[in-house]
Amino acid sequence: MSRRYDSRTTIFSPEGRLYQVEYAMEAIGNAGSAIGILSKDGVVLVGEKKVTSKLLQTSTSTEKMYKIDDHVAAAVAGIMSDANILINTARIQAQRYTFSYQEPMPVEQLVQSLCDTKQGYTQFGGLRPFGVSFLFAGWDKNYGFQLYMSDPSGNYAGWKAAAIGANNQAAQSMLKQDYRDEITREEAVQLALKVLSKTMDSTSLTSEKLELAEVFLSPSGNVKYQVCPPNALSKLLVKFGLTQPAAETS
């Protein structure tokens, strides 16, 4: 019903909905999921990779996790090519701020700025919205560690734990049950991997199908963004009982 209100992004339907924005969110619902968890001493991001192949150069390319600035990283779910544009925009906005103020951009301001860009595509120009949702993880001196989720409408909110992509509702309710306010980074990694393993479609869980990244403070006080290398990730999966110890693979 109301198919005649679908094709233009810049008009409301009679029920007051923006169909193109909602269809964009549908597209994300089919994409690989990502989970973010805020802990006392860091933020954990875990993502499900849809493109798996032994031929993929995993050491240099990531599918889900991107560094925006030294103190902010993002996990994406949705159309990858759309995500690349927005990530580039976010990186430019972060550097433009540092160029003016010689300080790192506060995380919420970066998220807000990117969401303002996304909102533009729902109101004018006649272009479709971006089919991407983000989980932003970062640290700044005003509010410490933060986790934000944003969607194609340009809305964003701060979260203690959030899920985007396929089965995100199931993941979100699992997180709601098991999240504790005083969770440590290690416990957060365990919780994120556990929830993701339950909501992923695949029968067996290997480090090839996952990406894990953490944002935390080094002992010297600098913000570090670290992507977990595949063999370390395999060990973690075994440690948390999510996979059987692997036999030697060729």
Partner 1 sequence: MECVFGLVGDGFVIVASDTSAVNSILVHKTNEDKIMKLDSHKFVAASGESGDRVQFTEYIQKNVALYQFRNGIPLTTAAAANFTRGELATALRKNPYMVNILLAGHDKETGPSLYYIDYIATLHKVDKGAFGYGSFFCLSLMDRHYHSGMSVEEAIELVDKCIKEIQSRLVVAPPNFVIKIVDRDGAREYAWRESVKDTPTAQPEALGV
Site string for partner 1, 230-249 (x = CB under 8 A): --------------------
Binding of residue 101 to partner 1 (CB under 8 A):
yes
What token pair was written down for 228? 């977990």
Q: Of 136-165, which residues contact partner 1 (CB under 8 A)?
A: 141-142
Closer to partner 1 at the Cβ: 101 or 249?
Answer: 101
* Binder among 53, 59, 61, 102 for partner 1 (CB under 8 A): 102
221 binds partner 1 (CB under 8 A): no
Least gap, CB of 116 to partner 1 (angstroms): 11
Count of chain residues binding partner 1 (CB under 8 A): 10
The span of 66-74, 101-109, 158-166, 240-248 binding partner 1 (CB under 8 A) equals: 101-109
First to last CA, the chain: 54
In the window 71-100, what residues touch partner 1 (CB under 8 A)?
99-100
Residues engaged in binding partner 1 (CB under 8 A) = 99-103, 106, 108-109, 141-142
